[in-house]
Every structure is written in structure tokens, then in C-alpha cells.
Structure 1
Amino acid sequence: MEALFENLSLGFETALSLQNLAYAFIGCLLGTLIGVLPGLGPSTTIAMLLPITYTLPPVSALIMLAGIYYGAQYGGSTTAILVNLPGESSSVVTAIDGYQMARRGRAGAALATAGLSSFMAGCFATLVLAAFAQPMSELAFEFGPAEYFSLMVLGLVGAVVLASGSLIKAIGMILLGLALGMVGTDVNSGVARYSFDIPELTDSINFVAVAMGLFGFAEILNNVEQREHRETFTNKVTHLFPSGEDFRRFLPAAVRGTALGTALGILPGGGATLSAFASYTLEKKISRRSEEFGKGAIEGVAGPEAANNAGAQTSFIPLLTLGIPSNVVMALMVGAMTIHNIQPGPQVMTSNPDLFWGLIASMWLGNAMLIVLNLPLIGLWVKLLKVPYRFLYPAILAFCCIGVYSINNNTFDVFMTVGFGVAGYVFARCGMEPAPLLLGFVLGPMMEENLRRALLLSRGDFSTLVTRPLSAGLLVATVLMVLVVALPAIRKTREDAFKEA
């Protein structure tokens, strides 16, 4: 316990520097902004901002990107409640009852419930992250190449199982991501693979081009095509402080949502969206007022909002302690760390303690900033909905192109980004999520490297993957996950969960 306090002291010393405070504020502000604007999510924004992180100190860059991620969970609830337009996918569930509360003149209570639930969940989840970081890192040192390979297999299968939509399509996207990850020069033989004599591909496909194309360009193309009408909330928001009855009803739901989101955020493929859906389903099943759900139940706002914020923050646990991204935003964080020559994993805690603990401490500060940014400035965020997309989207596209070009001063990267943008648009039209592709692209080279190391140490014996207890346990968990999701009842529950909204 004493060591934990010493580490947190170092973290707050790092996070409270003027520079890092400024970047935490910028991240929270941008997160709120893109959470409010429908069609722009944290994955899109982080992908677009990756080139900028080249010029920032590593600690400041990661603090800012983390602020964007959990800040978007706050901002997404504002438009979900006021105008029934979820700014972020995890806020889809919040819109069900939050918007109905606003229509009944209780917008202030709904917004306050969302903000307070998010704050409570974020603070608790960060505490869990701090408490489990050290034990998880110590466990990670027991991992060898075989264990890391098995863990990555579990992560990819988890991403498939917990992805919305068709399992077959998710598997296809994973395999495509793994294939794209093999492009480049083989680290062992030095031979170029699948580069088709294109010099730019011998160093592998540019991660920023893939991320920005799939989550920046493609999102904009999809949103331009939809041209959905956006109404603005004209009623004045009053009574921002919930009543005693509201507190009595929403606090238990927020506690349950926090616990559920904290657990699901750690799982491979979990995170904010899955946590929010699961929390809403749970609250609806156990409530004595189930008939109110869909008509303005305050529990339907508190539970999902607590769950999505807790899930967003505990998803950092596998990234920081094991070096394994549990969702697409964490995969982008891996890219940001790689940009600064930082290898994600347990060694970060010992080699970069100021980065590790500074990032954790910044999350407490960021949650406090977000309460101030969201509740008093509701009017400002609603006015942003009036910004015409015909001005917003061209500016974002220009920003993306400049950012990609600035990395290597190479127009090939810009063309590749456009290509992945078109591919992402086609994927969306076919109902195929790009997130599994990016996870496969990030984890593919790491899986290959660890498999080859394991085989090298075992003299080519594949049985090393099942004779080592920890590796065998992870593979058994993978098989069980596949078998469970194949059961008809579980498969139907999974499909219903993603259709709940």
C-alpha cells in the first residue's frame, strides 16, 4: 500500500505540471466536443491527431489522447439527452430514456444524473486501475512468448465475439487485419513480404494511414451520405441539481453500472459501448418499474452512463500492464506509444514510471475537469450543433491530409489514407465493423513475433503452447468463449443486446 501511495504521488507530481494539466484540459475539451458532434467519435479524433503527437512529449501526448477517449463518453450524453442524437456510440442507450426525460421537462435532472454518474464511475474505475496495475504488471513478467501469443489469440477472439453485427464478418475483418500486418520486411530474414516492389511498403503499411483512413475519412463519407436533419433544443435547461428522490433512484443504478463497466472494460473486445448496453439490459430486468424504461426512467440514464465511463477507463488496464489493446481506441494508443518508441507492456511501469503513473493520475484530474466542462456549459455545446457539416467536414479532411503527409513528407501515405477511407466506407455499407481489422493489424505482427520466438525456444515444437500451464489456460478460455457464444440462447442474447437501442 505504501508503494502505491508513492507511485500515485509521482503520478500527481507529473500530472499537475502546467504542461500536462494544459494537455489534459485540451483532451477533455476535445473529447467533449467530438462527443457532442454526431458522427465524430474518439477513434476518429485520436486517429486524426496521431501525427500531432510526434511533436509532443510522450506523457503529454498520452494524457491528451486518454482525455479525448473518456471525455467523449461525457459529451456524447449531452446531445443524446437533449436532441436524441447520440454523439458517441456508447450514448445510444442513454438516449432512450434521457431524451424522454428532456421531453417531459426534466432535461436538467437527466444531464446532472449523467454527469454525476460518469464522475463517480470514472473516479472508481481509475482507483481500480491504480490498484491492479502493480499486481497485473508483476503477473505479466511471468509471461513468455507462448503466453503472449495465447493472450493475443484470446484478445482477437474476444474482439470478434463482443463485436456488434455478424460473427462471420468480424472474423473476416480480423483475418484481413492480420494479413495487412504481414506486409513489410520480415524481421528475421530481412526479406520484403507482400510489398509488390513498392518501396514505401517495405517498412510495413503506415499505421496512421490505416487508422485515419478507416476512422477519419470513412466516417466523414458515411455522414455526408446520410445528411440527417439535426434539430436543436430550444427549451431552457433548468433544475440541474437532482432531487432527493432522483438521488435515491439513480445512485444504486450508478453503483451497479460502475461495477459492471469496470469488469467489462478489462475484457478483450470490451469497453464503453458493450458496458452501456449490458448495464441498460441489467437495469431493465431487475427494476420494479420496468414499464418506465423507454419513457424516461432515470435508472436508464444513470446505469449506462456510469458503465460506459468505467469501461472506458478500465480498458487501459490490459494496455498498460500487458501491452494488449482491448478495443480499437486502445489499439490507437499503442500506435501513439510506438510513435514515441515506447513498447507497451509491463516494462512501461519500470522504464517510464512518470508516464505510467502520470497517465493514471491525470484521469482523476480529467474527470473533475469534465464535470466543470459539461454541466455549466450545456448551452455552448448545444449551439455547436448548428455548425453546418458542409464547413466542418472539408476542414477535417484537409487536416487529415496535412497530418498524414507531415509524418514522412510522402504523398504515398496520403493516397494510402484515401484508399483505406474508401475501403472503410465500403465496409460500412456492407455492415462490417473496421475495429476488428485495426486490432488484427496491430496484434498480427506481435502474434507472429511471439509465436516464432516460442517455436525457436521449443525447437519447432507446437506443443509448447499447450504444455505451459498459463498458455494452455488462455487457449482453453479462448475455446470456451467460442463454444459459449455458439450456443443458440447465448447467440440470441448477444444479438438482442446490440438491438436494444
Structure 2
Amino acid sequence: METLNLLLQGFSVALTMEHLMFALIGAMLGTLIGALPGLGPANGVAILIPLAFSLGLSAEASLIMLTSVYAGAMYGGRISSILLNIPGDEPAMMTCLDGHPMALKGKAAEALAISAIASFIGSLLAMVGLVILAPWLATFALKFGPAEYFALYTLAFATLGGITGKNQFKTLVAACLGLMIATIGVDISTGNQRYTYDILELYEGIDFIIAIVGLFAISELLLFIEQHAGEGLKKVGLNKLKLTMTDIVQVLPTSLRGSVLGFISGVLPGAGASLGSFVSYTLEKRLIGARGRFGEGDPRGIAAPEAGNNAAANGALVPMLTLGVPGSGTTAVLLAMLVSLNIQPGPMLFVQNADLVWGVIAALFIGNLILLLLNIPMVGVFVKLLSIPPKYLMPVVTLIASVGIYALTSSALDLYFMIGFGLMGYVLRKLHIPLVPIILGMLLGPEMEKSLRHALTISDGDWGILWSSSISIGIWAVVMAGLFLPYVLGPLLRRRMASAKAQADAITD
């Protein structure tokens, strides 16, 4: 009952005219960004963070807008998957398998509508799971001491490569790079300068908002122009929508199953929406068997991955809000936003900032309803964005981010830092080194160091305190699993994903 009262209190925050307006703006911008191939929710949120700061928005308004962008980008990723057979981001790849064949049969509008409905169901059920699970997990996390938090932060790094099949060594290199950058500045404990080179602007360290915009937005501009600098992309035409209630009823059980699997995948740190999408599609294909037409335009082949990846996206908010450990790349960016607002995610967030966190949760319920209402009648408007030449669109997006950074810091040096991070991000992405671990290292590094020092101070330098409790032993066990499971399950998942991509390419040819 207490949780229900807090949620109702959150709706009183989210239903103000100002917050409704920002939820609508975020949902529209997110859908537009998600529709662009390759951008994805992490880049969308990173690009718009400076805008939120430069507009002087309150913490509630900023987070409501950016979480709506997050949800909208997950919705929008299906547009290019279905019409172009190009995933808007990695989780939307599975949607290509049946979405594009369905569009080639003249049912693009139906495919887009089904994906919107499945996305709504996945997001809605995941939000219910968030409301139920998050307060319980936050209460449990109050038992954590500095040793347990150090183990938890280690877990966040151990699961980064995760079951998604990313190169574990490159992930480790990126995480170490982020931790190294996090040490720049004045050591709070000793007062010593670390890697400042007597540059006054470095005494307080490097602002991770600048790093995020550089690594994501600037590097994305360079890559996007390099790969898609033509005069727009050729897409399948959009027919008049002829969706029946029978079509909706057919995909409803699929959406429910995909939502449950997706939410579980999202809550697991390091698994994320890609796993939720893949597992949901694979399970549905096996359940339906020969009765389905998977790979040939079966609506259930659209509903399963869309429900899965949207449920996983919202499920990833659970560890981020309750433990301060992001469950995905986008929640890592949102974590940076919270820290920049002097709000520390973790178990005390639900006590010290109850209005904020429950207002954001309520706004996500509202934002998903807005997205459903926007995406079905207005999908034609979003589709037109795919015809805009990237060489015009991407510089405008980057200009907005750059102006936002300057408005935030009023420092030309920060713009140079942003460009430097952009060039570094471009090189790292060409080397297939992930960027999210760098941001995570910058975000969690200071707190990880603080927890380690605090634990060793309590124990008079005895390192055994790090595994002295049952909670910390359990976390360390999960850390070991996170380090070694990718070598067992990673190759299997990579083969399955490669097979799915080859199937999609064969259908297109």
C-alpha cells in the first residue's frame, strides 16, 4: 500500500502541465532519434543532456524529458528496421527478421503498428515490475557497507562484456581507461593533485557530461557521415493501416511472454536489451514451431523482440536507481545526468528524493501511453525523417550538443575537451572498443575508490574485509560468473546473432 501511495504521489508530480510537456517533447525527439540508423537511445540521451542543462530545467523536468527520450528511442528503432532492414540500434536487429519481409509484402503500416503495441505492452509490464521490485531491492541494499559496495562496483565492470558477446579484453581496456580518467583532479582524501599538470580547469577533474557528448555525439557524427553520407536512404513505401482486432489478439500472448523475458534480461547488469530481444524471439519461434511463418513476415516475429527489448530497457532502470549500477549503456548516461544534478542513485534515493524518483517512474507510465498514441497515427511523419540526408541532419544535431555544452560551462577549453573525446571515441569505435565502459569507469571510479578506502580504514588495512560478509561473498561469486560466463555463452550467442543477421540479409536479397 505504501508503494501505491508513493506512485500516486509520483503521478501528482508527473501530471503537471510543465512535466507533461517535457514528456511529450522527449517522446517525440526520442522517436525521431531512434528512427535514424545507428544512433540509438544512448546517443540520443547523450546529445540532449546539454540541452536540458542549458535550458535551466529542474531535476524532475530534465529526468522526465530524458527518460522519455530513452523510451522513445526504443520505440523509434523499429522504423528503420522494418522499412530499411537497417536496425536503429542493436536490440532492434531481431525486428528485421520478420518486420522487413512483412513490409515487402505491402504491410509496412501493420508491421509498425504491431511493433508499437508490443513495445507498449513490454514497457508497461516492465514498469509494473520496476514499481514492485525497486523498493524491495533498495531496502535490501541498505544493508550494504563499503565492502559490499566495492564488490558491487566490481560486479558492474565484470558484467560489462556480459552475455551479449562483446570482446571481454577490449571491454576491460575501455573500463581501465575510464578509471584512469576518473583519477584526474585533486584527491579528496590527501589533497594531492593527480594528472592535472598545473592546469586549473583539471583540478576538479573532467566533467563526464563533456566526455559523454564527445564520445557519443561527436564520434557518431564522424562515423555516420563516413558510412551514410549519401542523399538519404531508399525505403519501403508506407501503406494505409488495416490492422484488425484479430491481429492484435494474435500477438498479445507473444508480447506478454517477451515482456517477462525482456524484464529479467534488463534487470541483470550487463545483459541488456539485445539479450531480451534475442531470447524473446528465439523462445517464440520454438513455441510456435511449424505453425508460424517466422522469417517470412510473421507478426509474432515482430511482437516478440519489440516487447523484449522495450521491457529490458525499462528493467535496466532497476539496478541503476536502486544500486547506482547501470544495467545498460543508456542507463549509464542517465546515471551521469543524476550525478551531475548532485543526486546519488542508490538505496537512499528512494528516501531522500522520493518525489523525484517516483515522479520519473510515473512519467514513464505516461510517456509510454504518449508514445503509443503518437506512433500509430503519426508514424508517417517520423518515417519522412529517413529521407533527410545525414550530411545535413547530423551536423545540426552535433551543433545543438556543442552549444549546450558551452552554455553549461562557458568554457572554450571544455569544447576542446569535447572534440578530443570525440576523436578518441571515433578511433576507439573503429577499433571496436566499446565506449560505455569508459563512461562507467568515470562515473563509478570515484565512489569505488572511496568505498575501498573506507573499508580498509575500518579494518585497519585488512583486505579480508572485502569478502567478510555473506552479501559480499555472494556478489563476488556473481563477479566470477560474469567474468567467465561470456567465454562459455558468448560464442554461442554470437553465432546465433550472426545466423539471424544472415537470414535477414538473405530475405532482403
TM range (shorter): over 0.9
1:293 aligned partner: 294
Query: Secondary structure of 1:287's partner?
Result: helix
The correspondence of residues 248-263 of structure 1 with structure 2, limited to 5 A, is: 248-263=249-264
Matching of residue 318 in structure 1 with residue 308 in structure 2: no
The one-character-per-residue Cα deviations of 1:356-380 (angstroms, maximum 9, x if unpaired) are 1111111111111001111101211
Whole-Å separation in 2 of the counterparts to 1:251 and 1:117: 8
Letter in 1 for 2:359: G
1:222 aligned partner: 223
The structural deviation recorded for 1:290 is: 8.2
Whole-Å separation in 1 of the counterparts to 2:203 and 2:238: 58
The one-character-per-residue Cα deviations of 1:207-261 (angstroms, maximum 9, x if unpaired) are 11210111000011001111265444463422342452x3454222211210111
1:62 aligned partner: 63
The structural deviation recorded for 1:43 is: 1.6
Return 323-332 or 227-236, whichever deviates more.
Answer: 227-236
The one-character-per-residue Cα deviations of 1:407-428 (angstroms, maximum 9, x if unpaired) are 2211111111111111111111
Compared CA separation, residues 161 and 270, structure 1 to 2 (3 A): closer
Return 284-293 or 42-51, whichever deviates more.
Answer: 284-293
Letter in 1 for 2:9: L
The structural deviation recorded for 1:103 is: 0.5
2:12 aligned partner: 13
- Report if aligned partners of 1:133, 1:317 keep a CA contact under 8 Å in 2: yes
Compared CA separation, residues 156 and 353, structure 1 to 2 (3 A): same
The correspondence of residues 477-488 of structure 1 with structure 2, limited to 5 A, is: 477-487=478-488
Query: Secondary structure of 1:292's partner?
Result: coil
The structural deviation recorded for 1:205 is: 1.2
Compared CA separation, residues 242 and 422, structure 1 to 2 (3 A): farther
The one-character-per-residue Cα deviations of 1:187-214 (angstroms, maximum 9, x if unpaired) are 1001111222222222111211210111
The structural deviation recorded for 1:353 is: 1.3
2:448 aligned partner: 447
Whole-Å separation in 1 of the counterparts to 2:45 and 2:299: 32
Matching of residue 493 in structure 1 with residue 492 in structure 2: yes
Letter in 2 for 1:328: G
Whole-Å separation in 1 of the counterparts to 2:19 and 2:228: 38
- Report if aligned partners of 2:139, 2:347 keep a CA contact under 8 Å in 1: yes
Letter in 2 for 1:360: I
Query: Secondary structure of 1:463's partner?
Result: helix
Which ranges of 4 or more aligned residues in structure 1 deviate by more than 6 Å? none
Return 96-105 or 333-342, whichever deviates more.
Answer: 333-342
Letter in 2 for 1:8: L
Return 394-403 or 376-385, whichever deviates more.
Answer: 394-403
Letter in 1 for 2:25: I
1:115 aligned partner: 116
2:470 aligned partner: 469
Specify every segment of 5 or more residues in structure 1 that has no aligned partner in the other structure, as ranges. Answer: none
Matching of residue 330 in structure 1 with residue 331 in structure 2: yes
Letter in 2 for 1:311: A
1:30 aligned partner: 29
The structural deviation recorded for 1:293 is: 2.7
Letter in 2 for 1:154: L
Query: Secondary structure of 1:391's partner?
Result: helix
The one-character-per-residue Cα deviations of 1:159-200 (angstroms, maximum 9, x if unpaired) are 122454322111111111111111111110011112222222
- Report if aligned partners of 1:164, 1:498 keep a CA contact under 8 Å in 2: no
Return 25-34 or 170-179, whichever deviates more.
Answer: 170-179
The correspondence of residues 297-308 of structure 1 with structure 2, limited to 5 A, is: 297-308=298-309
TM-score of the superposed pair, with normalisation by structure 1: 0.95
Q: Once the two structures are aligned, what percentage of the paired residues are identical?
A: 36
1:88 aligned partner: 89
1:101 aligned partner: 102
Whole-Å separation in 2 of the counterparts to 1:93 and 1:412: 42
Letter in 2 for 1:225: E
Whole-Å separation in 1 of the counterparts to 2:306 and 2:486: 26
Whole-Å separation in 2 of the counterparts to 1:192 and 1:236: 59
Letter in 2 for 1:426: V
Whole-Å separation in 2 of the counterparts to 1:360 and 1:377: 25
Whole-Å separation in 2 of the counterparts to 1:481 and 1:290: 37
- Report if aligned partners of 1:281, 1:497 keep a CA contact under 8 Å in 2: no
Compared CA separation, residues 410 and 475, structure 1 to 2 (3 A): same
The structural deviation recorded for 1:498 is: 4.0
2:507 aligned partner: none
2:504 aligned partner: none
The one-character-per-residue Cα deviations of 1:14-58 (angstroms, maximum 9, x if unpaired) are 110111111111111111110112232222222222223331111
Return 124-133 or 43-52, whichever deviates more.
Answer: 43-52
2:188 aligned partner: 187
The one-character-per-residue Cα deviations of 1:455-490 (angstroms, maximum 9, x if unpaired) are 111111110111111011100111123233333xx2
Letter in 1 for 2:51: I
Letter in 2 for 1:372: L
The structural deviation recorded for 1:277 is: 2.2
- Report if aligned partners of 1:154, 1:477 keep a CA contact under 8 Å in 2: yes
- Report if aligned partners of 1:325, 1:331 keep a CA contact under 8 Å in 2: yes
Query: Secondary structure of 1:295's partner?
Result: coil
Whole-Å separation in 2 of the counterparts to 1:465 and 1:278: 35
Whole-Å separation in 2 of the counterparts to 1:68 and 1:174: 26
Whole-Å separation in 2 of the counterparts to 1:242 and 1:69: 29
Specify every segment of 5 or more residues in structure 2 that has no aligned partner in the other structure, as ranges. Answer: 502-509
Letter in 2 for 1:47: A
Letter in 2 for 1:319: M
The correspondence of residues 401-420 of structure 1 with structure 2, limited to 5 A, is: 401-420=402-421
The structural deviation recorded for 1:120 is: 0.9
Compared CA separation, residues 225 and 231, structure 1 to 2 (3 A): closer
Whole-Å separation in 2 of the counterparts to 1:247 and 1:48: 35
2:371 aligned partner: 370
Matching of residue 165 in structure 1 with residue 149 in structure 2: no
Matching of residue 206 in structure 1 with residue 192 in structure 2: no
Query: Secondary structure of 2:237's partner?
Result: coil
Whole-Å separation in 2 of the counterparts to 1:242 and 1:118: 18
Query: Secondary structure of 2:161's partner?
Result: helix
2:460 aligned partner: 459
- Report if aligned partners of 2:163, 2:490 keep a CA contact under 8 Å in 1: no
2:433 aligned partner: 432
Matching of residue 360 in structure 1 with residue 373 in structure 2: no
Whole-Å separation in 2 of the counterparts to 1:179 and 1:445: 10
The structural deviation recorded for 1:497 is: 4.1
Return 439-448 or 85-94, whichever deviates more.
Answer: 85-94
- Report if aligned partners of 1:109, 1:242 keep a CA contact under 8 Å in 2: no
Letter in 2 for 1:253: T
Whole-Å separation in 2 of the counterparts to 1:485 and 1:181: 27
2:380 aligned partner: 379
